[in-house]
Chain A
Amino acid sequence: MGTILFELGLTFYFAAAIISTVDLFMGSRASSRLMLLAAGAGFVIHTSSIVYRYFAAGHIPISSMHEASSFFAWCVVLIFFLLEYRYKIGIMGSFVLPVVFLLMLSSSFLPREIRPLSPVLQSYWFGIHTFLAFLGNAAFAVAFGLGIMYLLQERNLKAHHLHGLFQRLPSLQMLDEMNNTMINFGFPLLTCAIISGALWAEQAWGSYWRWDPREVWSMIIWFIYALILHIRFTAGWRGKKTALLSVIGFMVILFTFFGVNILFKSLHSFQ
């Protein structure tokens, strides 16, 4: 049952990603609506698959790489829909939904069996820490999509290339504001995730900070986004630099999420 729901959700996300890509090149109002419909259906089914797994496992299903990728994707869709509801920019889907699909796809290739929760994870900190971290990272994923949109639109405007996609992307100011909103939303969440992680580590292992690879990379991510906020406040740098940094920031997040798990021996590695 859980598998069926997961596969069905994946299929809808796949459809949404395909429609969104088609929409990017020859978009119309109809295809935008179809994309949102597919993504919406995917989201509902995906949500129920996560709820199902929660009851099946008896704990929050973020304890394996498969579960974590899936939950990460879920958070991205959640934030995407919140933003879409507020700004109604259908074409944003073309830059966010493919990321969602790829996260789900990688999740589908990872071992799916439900394992008992290791003793160290059996703490209320587990839910708080992971939820904050994934929601924050999901906001950065959307900021990544917006950053790419900004870079494309900025290049179009500079090069006086004014048809096709240019017509369908929103104004630079709006993209910049949305990007800023996402980082303002994600940054406190990431900060809280790191703090809650430190408190939990103190309880579980007796020290706040152990220079674990995941901890180090999280700090690097934190610094990148802190830099974006800082330069906006002080130097007033905005637009292109912010967009570029939010693209780089998300690359680092993906590396941390997938790469660090594989390359380094970490306390955060999933079994």
Chain B
Amino acid sequence: MKIVVVGLNHKTASVEIREKLAFSGPKLEEGIGQLMNMPEVKESALLSTCNRVELFTCVGNVPAAVENIMNFLSAFHGLERNDFEKSLFVHSDSEAVRHVFRVASSLDSMVVGEPQILGQLKDTFELALSKKTTGVLLNQLMKKAISTAKRIRTETGIAENAVSISFAAVELARKIFTDLQDKSFMLMGAGEMAELAARHLVNNGVRDVKVVNRTYERGCELAREFNGKAVRFEDFLHELVHTDIVICSTGAPAYVLLKDQMNKVMKERKHRPVFVIDISVPRNIDPEINNIENVYLYDVDNLQDVVQTNIHERKKEADKAEVIIAEEVGKFIKWMASLDSVPTILALRRKAEEIKNEELAKFSAKCPDMEDSKMKAVEYMVASIINKLIHPPTVALKQDTEDRDELIAMIKKLYGINGEENEE
């Protein structure tokens, strides 16, 4: 049995191909059902996200199975094989294991270190478990992929530091203020990025939210969304005195906040620090206000720089992660080898031998004056009972049947034979 991964991702395929091959909604269960109908495929799981479609399988004969999977994809999605074949990758054995571990650890993601992929992989695993499409090998593979991803998350800084502008804003706010809960926040204007950043701030504890908009009604609408209050545009300078964090994204053609105005505001608020984020283009806030003490102004380019640096940092951490991956793949391959039948047969024999010797020793201790010839007969009898008992499992193990991996795992469990670190 071999682990094979067939799939495509944002690196190998354009979005046009990815969306054509995606297994969305009900198609997922249908697809996995059809996949299991193939005689070559013993175990399978199917991962489909907007950036990747991956079929994790356990097969006996790799080329035949890959061929069948290609045909299945073509038939299922109604596509010519030529249209998508070049975009597919095929990994088998240790390469496949490595690939799954890297995907789970978000090393293969578009934004390295993003956390969603692990959740998506868990969903895939859960669906497979509920449909009973995975067995010994894939179950172990999924479990190890998840634990490796967690290990990498804690041992490297791959998921540290914001890699989106809206998160970067929250992270910066935390470097100015210790606790965001008692801080007040003002959103000026609207816009996707500004609203996203506002939402992150609220999620991170900011409770006092004010929304300023040229159209008061639009302001009220947004304010309701954030559980805040709407402020009329004419009053925003007055409100600024009681505001610690400002996100500005108005469509104004000129500065709406000038240095002199900010100077006055700072005096009134007794120079308490204020964090101003201007993500409007053209800028809406006089860049000069950054020179006022205790005012920290960031524009969209500054935030973009933060994001770029953090992405760079993550790439460095990814190198450390690759080392961990290599180590975990090694362990997994070792575990797979332990599933091989020969060591199991030997272990089973050893176990039987041990039981025999133990019981014979007890017996001869109980009957010390037994004649030698009788003792020989007893020994012979015990040996043949033991041999007869372990004969059928030995034969079964030696046969190269398709469910041998499961059989090996089963026999190990039934006879209490411990392999190398596989019982977790």
Residues of A at the B interface (CB closer than 8 Å) are 153, 157-158, 160, 162-163, 166-167, 169-174, 177, 235-241
Contact = CB atoms under 8 A, between A and B. Distances in A.
10 contacts: A158-B290, A163-B313, A166-B175, A172-B175, A174-B178, A177-B178, A235-B271, A236-B270, A238-B271, A241-B293
Contact of A157 (B179, B296, B305, B309): B296
Given A162-B305, A162-B306, A239-B271, 4 more contacts: A162-B309, A172-B175, A237-B271, A238-B272
- Chain B, interface size category, equals 20 to 34
Given A163-B309, A173-B273, A240 B293 contact: yes
Contacts of B273: 172-173, 239
A171 B176 contact: yes
B296 A171 contact: no
B259 to A, nearest CB: 15
B298 A171 contact: no
B161 interface: yes
Contact of B296 (A158, A167, A169): A158
A240 B294 contact: yes
B293 A173 contact: no
B24 interface: no
B405 to A, nearest CB: 41
Contacts of A177: 178
Interface string B289-304: 0100110101000100
Contacts of A236: 270-272
A153 B306 CA distance: 15
A32 to B, nearest CB: 15
Nearest to B270: A236
Contacts of B306: 160, 162
A173 B298 contact: no
A172 to B, nearest CB: 5
Nearest to A175: B178
A200 to B, nearest CB: 40
A244 to B, nearest CB: 11
A172 B175 CA distance: 6
Question: Closest 5 CB pairs between A and B?
Answer: A236-B270, A174-B178, A173-B178, A160-B302, A171-B178
B72 interface: no
A173 B181 CA distance: 13
A168 B145 CA distance: 31
Contacts of A238: 271-272, 294
B305 A160 contact: yes
A100 to B, nearest CB: 26
B293 A239 contact: yes
Contacts of B175: 153, 157, 166, 169, 171-172
Interface string B339-356: 000000000000000000
B226 interface: no
Nearest to B306: A162
B174 interface: yes
A239 B295 CA distance: 11
B84 interface: no
A236 B241 CA distance: 14
B177 interface: yes
Contacts of B161: 167
A171 B177 contact: yes
A221 B177 CA distance: 30
A166 B310 CA distance: 12
Contacts of A239: 271, 273, 293-294
A156 to B, nearest CB: 8
Q: Which of A158, A169, A237 has the most CB of B within 10 A?
A: A158
Contact of A235 (B178, B270, B296): B270
Nearest to B295: A158
A173 B175 CA distance: 8
